[in-house]
Structure 1
Amino acid sequence: MNFPKGVFRAPARFLMSLLFILSGVSKLTSTKETQQYMEAYGVPGILIWPAAALEITGGTMILTGQFTNPVSVILSGWCLLTAAIFHKELSDQTQMIMFLKNMAMAGGFLVLAEAAIEVEEQSPKPLLGNGVPAKS
């Protein structure tokens, strides 16, 4: 079965962004516990604020389709980084699942980034004053 091109982009953006927005909000509502968790892995607790900002802002931008390509690449890197820091005890089944979840999310964000390039290439180009399409 073939689906129309692009039919899954909005649901993909919603699903990919949901985890980040909720995780960022959770950091703000459970600050002390999250800081203790971070510090247990050698990450300074003060970094909770930029982490929450990245997750909420990045998730919102993915959800709304703003700057999808660069934000997807950044969030993919974030998934890889957090997997390497917080989920490296792969002998623990829960940690292995969390590690693999982060890897899958990183891959999903790269697919989303690629789709954003395709959409951008197909978008009409703005015209210069003389009616000639501007170069990207």
Structure 2
Amino acid sequence: MSLLTILGLAGRSLIALLFILAGAAKLFGPKPFLEHMRQFRVPAPLLVGVILLEIGAGGAVLAGWNLRWSAGALSAFCLVTAVVFHADLRNKVERTAFFKDLALCGGLLSMAVAG
């Protein structure tokens, strides 16, 4: 196995782990996530889709399966998350979360393009 293959797997694993763990947290303890969604007028039934996306696409990224689609879907999800939940750029914590989500969006978009 080449160094580039190992580094690619490590990079995919680290990004995928973020989404898989986030999805699992929502699955096993949804209450705080539902409350947060309610604050931003995001319909509660969307949480099921978010969980499926985070765990499913996160697992697909980890496995390298349908990478263009799975990384692309997570990239779009990060962009929407930044805009919907972290748009208060006057707040330092929200501004940091906004730009972290944009950075993840960019990294995942690069992964999707590279396939």
SS in 1 for 2:41: coil
SS in 2 for 1:44: coil
Counterpart Cα distance in 1 of 2:44 and 2:35:
7
1:84 to 2:93 alignment: no
Q: TM-score, normalised to structure 1's length?
A: 0.79
Corresponding pairs, count:
114
Structure 2: 5+ residue stretches without partners:
none
Residue equivalent to 1:104: 103
SS in 2 for 1:62: helix
Q: TM-score, normalised to structure 2's length?
A: 0.92
What aligned pairs does 1:9-88 form with structure 2 within 5 A after superposition?
9-88=8-87
Larger radius of gyration: 1
- Please tell me whether the aligned partners of residues 35 and 46 of structure 1 are also in contact (alpha carbons under 8 angstroms): no
Q: Quick one: percent identity of the two aligned structures?
A: 33
Q: Which has the higher helix share?
A: 2
SS in 2 for 1:35: helix
SS in 1 for 2:45: helix
Q: CA deviation at 1:7?
A: 4.1
